[in-house]
Amino acid sequence: MSVRFKSLIIISATILVLMIALNYYSRVILMDSFKDLERDDLRQDVERILNLLSDDVASIDTLNHDWAAWDDTYRFIEDGNPAYVESNLMNQTFAGVNINVMLFLNAAGETIISKGLDIESMREIPVPAELVDYALANWDIFGTPDPEDHISGVVLIPQGAVMISAHQILDSEAQGPVRGRLIMGRYLDTTEIDRLSQLARLPITIRTLDEPGAPPDLKEAGTALLDGRDIVVKPISDDLVSGYGLLRDIQGQPILTVRTEVPRAIYAQGERALWFLTWALIGASVAVCAVSLVLLDRMVLKRLFKLRDDVGSIGKAGDPQARVSVTGNDEVTQLAGEVNVMLEALQRYQSEIAEKKALEAVNRQLVELNQLKSKFISMASHELRTPLVAIQGYLDLMRDGSANFSDEHARMLGIVSENTRRLTRIVSELLDLTKIEENRLILGKERVSVADLMETAASELGSSLRKRNLTLSAEIQQALPEITADRDRLAQVVINLVGNAIKYTPDGGHIRVGARLEGDATIHISVSDNGIGIESKHLERIFDRFYEIAEVTSHSTGTDEFMASGTGLGLSIVKEIVELHGGRVWCESEGKGKGATFHVVLPTEAGGSVANPERAEKSVAVRPVPATGTAETSPADRNGHLKVLVIEENEEAFAALKGVLDGKYELMSATTSGTGIKAAIWKKPDIIFLHARMPGVSGYDICSILKKHANTRSIPIIVFAQPNGDGESEKATTAGADAFLTVPFEGGELTTLVEGFRR
Ligand code: ADP
């Protein structure tokens, strides 16, 4: 439904309801007051009629007084002089004063003379005996011996109502003794009522209260009047209203109902006024409605519709620079302004979103490139590691004295071996880096003695120290508690820090390692040297990946051991490992040439916490200590037979492997994927050989399963496959294999590889 239509309906409905209410209440209030006016008016009319009747009676009374207190009448009662009758009781006299009855009674109550006249026909009629009887029966009321006593009023006799007056007959001086009573009467007949009607200018009806043929309204009004109401007013139709009054007789008894009726002029006037008001209101309402709608349409709706159309077409065109236009200076204009502000904001957001999208695309590319880089580093390191382990193995065999080399060759072999070791370390660092990036660096949890760690580092780096003529002193607090941590990774930390100290301390320098307990549960390890030192601006950054201080090489002593050509990865890996243990590492140096001290603090329960909880949530997990104590039997610590598990379905292939490895190692075999997984988890071999193409669960799947299982994740797994396979090496890397070989293998290659993992 359109706003226009809605407004029309709402305004019309409101006006209609108001009209009905107004009409109703004005009708109730106004018409009531008009009815009151009508009632008051008619009440006055009825009172006027009753007053006319009273005046009528009073006029008879006055006339009677003149006649009764007159010497002629006084004498006539005594002497019955006929001349009095002839000269005074003439028909014309009766008609002249409008009297129908005269009754002369002497003091004994005897009728001296009585005369009745029908004025209309001017015929004498007898005085009703009932009137005479009434006068005699009520003699006491009619008078007392008091000469002044008289009475007047209406009496009801069977012939009808009569207005009468009774006076004592006295002389003209109004002196007694009283000789009798003169009674005069006028019939309240139709002639008299018509006369009164003309005087009052009102129709008058007079009926007795109990008259059988009286109209019902008169009877009803009579009853109401008898109930005590002095005047009753009652509408008898829409055009006429009647008023009723009560007439009492001389003794005060109600005898007659007087009625008049008038047209309802006031009421009709009220009706007309009300209708005029109603139509005027309707006209005004229609006008107000029409004007409001026109104004609403012009001032609001049309402009709103234009605004809507503008916004709609902007939306369709999708033009971010388009704006709406509305003239004026009111709320609609303000709305248009707000719409424009919103459009501007939208335009801004649109360009921000476009920029964001572009940035996201670039970011995605960068992430992809980074993943590609990580993948490449991971694969390259894997590929490099296997041959390097083999080269190293052969070199060690050659240097063990099995071959006869001249000193020069032995020296050259030593250099080759040293560089191979360095290369292996770089490859290991790169592998660690990819593991850290992919959150695959999993910590073991063993009881580790810090003193042992120091010793391991010292023996590992012993030859370098000696060659560089460096002294190493250790300050290890007595009875230092063991730490729960990953032994190999902590050894890596200490070796790296001491290795750096060797690298960056000129020949003849001094290196100090220390370990002490801080508080109850923190071990503080420090490695200090009096080497080339580090400027303060580098102190934070040396823990960043690939960060190297450019001028470090200029401090090189020039010997082989102090090449100072690292990768810039060592300290970042140290930091990651320490933080994964819930610890902290930092460096202090007073500047160039002033040596450096590296501090590592570790909680004694280091293996139970990780530095970066966000990353911990992803995949870094701490390996629980196996019930059987794998730490005590780890390949690096043992000199006895290594347990080698071969998972291979083909018996001939197993026999070939057995031929090479048997005798040197404790061999176990599994010919199905299921038994292989179980054997690996329960027997906990030191190394696993795994054929990539196992039926059912493939070798790669077995490898991923074992690399995820707490008991087996740290066991080196060597995956082998036919050389013609596609991307086998890559699959092995993805599955987490530590080395990949193609068959057939050479005997030496296998053993050097196994020995490499023993180290
Ligand atoms: P690199 O493989 O280059 O040694 P690291 O991450 O181990 O990488 O070290 C980062 C840098 O920190 C080094 O290039 C070196 O400049 C500086 N550095 C590390 N240890 C020391 C030290 N003991 N004395 C002086 N400089 C050091």
pLDDT digits (tens, 9 = 90+) for 282-327: 888 888 888 888 888 888 888 888 888 989 998 898 888 888 887 7
Q: Ligand 1 pocket, 497 CB below 6 A?
A: no
Residue 600 pLDDT exceeds 90: yes
pLDDT-above-90 percentage for the chain: 32
DSSP state of 245: E
Choice among 5-14, 531-540, 633-642 with the minimum mean pLDDT: 633-642
More confident residue, 79 or 403: 79
Strands in 648-693 per DSSP E: 666-670, 687-691
What is the average per-residue pLDDT within 557-570? 57
At 679 the three-state DSSP class reads helix
Q: Whose CA is nearest to atom 16 of ligand 1?
A: 549
Could you tell me the two tokens for 62?
């006055």
* Ligand 1 close to Cβ of residue 570 (< 6 A): yes
Give the number of C-alpha atoms closer than 13 A to the C-alpha of residue 445, restricted to the C-beta side. Answer: 19
Tokens of 315: 């939306």
Q: Which residues contact 717 (CB under 8 A, 6 or more apart)?
A: 687, 688, 690, 703, 706, 707, 736, 737, 738, 739
Residue 587 CB less than 6 A away from ligand 1: no
**In this structure, what token pair is assigned to residue 5?**
């239509």
**Cα radius of gyration rounded to whole Å, the chain:** 70
Confidence band for 645, pLDDT divided at 50, 70 and 90: very high
Of 137, 164, 138, 140, the C-alpha closest to 152 is 164
pLDDT score for 634: 37
**Tell me, what's the pLDDT at 145?**
60
Query: Is residue 457 packed enough to be buried (19+ CB in 10 Å), middle (13-18) or exposed (0-12)?
Result: buried
Both structure tokens of 185: 């009467």
pLDDT band at 611 (very low <50, low <70, confident <90, very high): very low
Q: For residue 566, is pLDDT > 70?
A: no
Q: What is the pLDDT of residues 176-205, one digit of tens each?
A: 788 888 999 999 999 999 999 999 999 999
Give the mutation target among 426, 503, 551 for probing the ligand 1 site: most ligand atoms within 8 A of CB.
503
- For residue 76 the two structure tokens come to 């006539």
Give the per-residue pLDDT at 142. 57
pLDDT above 90 (res 273)? no
Q: Whose CA is nearest to atom 25 of ligand 1?
A: 533
Residue closest to 42 by CA, chosen among 228, 219, 227, 221: 221
Tens of pLDDT along 209-258? 888 888 888 888 888 888 888 899 999 888 899 999 999 998 889 999 99
User: Could you give the count of Cα atoms lying within 13 Å of 491 in the half-sphere of its Cβ?
Assistant: 19
Structure tokens given for 610: 């990780």
Q: What is d(CA 367, CA 360) in angstroms, rounded to the nearest whole number?
A: 10
Q: For residue 286, which amino acid is it?
A: V
Q: What percent of the chain has a predicted confidence (pLDDT) above 70? A: 91
According to the model, what pLDDT value does residue 72 have? Answer: 93
Task: Give 551's pLDDT tier (boundaries 50, 70, 90).
Answer: low
| Residue in this structure with the two tokens 């082989």, named with its chain if needed | 560
User: What is the tens place of the pLDDT at every residue in 666-714?
Assistant: 888 888 888 888 888 888 899 999 998 888 788 988 998 898 887 888 8
Instruction: Give every CB contact of residue 519 below 8 A, 6+ residues apart in sequence.
Output: none
- Taking all residues of the chain, what is their mean pLDDT, rounded to a whole number? 83
Prediction pTM value: 0.44
Q: How far apart are CA 602 and CA 523, in angstroms?
A: 5
CA–centroid distance, residue 535 to ligand 1 (Å):
12
Cβ–ligand 1 contact at 501 (below 6 Å): yes
552 falls in which pLDDT band (50, 70, 90)?
Answer: low
- Is ligand 1 within 6 A of the CB of residue 528? no
Q: Which residue has the higher pLDDT, 286 or 748?
A: 286
DSSP-derived secondary structure letter, 665: B
Average pLDDT over residues 82-110: 91
- Residue among 502, 504, 530 whose CB has most ligand 1 atoms within 8 A, to mutate: 504
pLDDT the model gives residue 328:
80
Confidence of residue 565 (pLDDT cuts 50, 70, 90): low
Residue range 133-145: mean pLDDT, rounded: 68
Residue with tokens 């409905």, as numbered in its chain: 13
For residue 627, give both structure tokens.
């019930």
Confidence at 594, pLDDT banded by 50, 70, 90? very high
pLDDT for 559 beyond 60: no
Q: What interhelical angle do 699-708 and 728-735 show, nearest 10? A: 20
Residue 612 CA, ligand 1 centroid: distance in Å: 24
Whether 46 has a pLDDT exceeding 80, the answer reads: yes
Three-state DSSP string of 258-295:
EEEEEECHHHHHHHHHHHHHHHHHHHHHHHHHHHHHHH
Q: 496 or 266: whose pLDDT is higher?
A: 496
**Does 562 sit in the ligand 1 pocket, CB within 6 Å?**
no
pLDDT tier, 663 (very low <50, low <70, confident <90, very high otherwise):
confident
Helices 3-68, 190-200: crossing angle, 10 deg rounding: 120
Contact 471, 513 (CB under 8 A): no
Rounded to whole angstroms, the Cα distance separating 49 from 417 reads 154
Strands 687-691 and 643-647, bridge-based pairing: parallel
Residue nearest atom 21 of ligand 1, based on CA coordinates: 500
pLDDT at 635 over 50: no
- Residue 482 CA to ligand 1 center (angstroms) comes to 28
Instruction: Please determine, for residue 404, whether its predicted confidence score (pLDDT) is greater than 60.
Output: yes
HSE (CB half, 13 Å, CA atoms) of 110? 5
**Exposed, middle or buried by CB within 10 Å (0-12, 13-18, 19+), for 710?**
middle
- Specify whether the backbone of 410 is left (phi greater than 0), alpha (psi in -120 to 50) or beta: alpha
Question: CB–CB of 614/436 below 8 Å?
Answer: no
What is the identity of the amino acid at 464? Answer: S
Residue 632 CB coordination number (10 Å): 10
The pLDDT assigned to 520 comes to 84
Specify whether the CB–CB gap between 596 and 506 falls below 8 A: no
pLDDT score of 510: 95
Task: Assign 3-class secondary structure to 592-630.
Answer: CCCCEEEEEEEECCHHHCCCCHHHHHHCCCECCCCCCCH
Ligand 1 within 6 A of CB of 571: yes
Which of 32-46, 268-282, 647-661 is predicted least confidently? 647-661
Q: Is the minimum distance from the CB of 542 to ligand 1 under 6 angstroms?
A: yes
**pLDDT score, position 629:** 27
Which ligand 1 atom is nearest residue 552's CA? 16
Chain centroid to Cα 68, Å, comes to: 106
Average pLDDT of span 716-739:
84
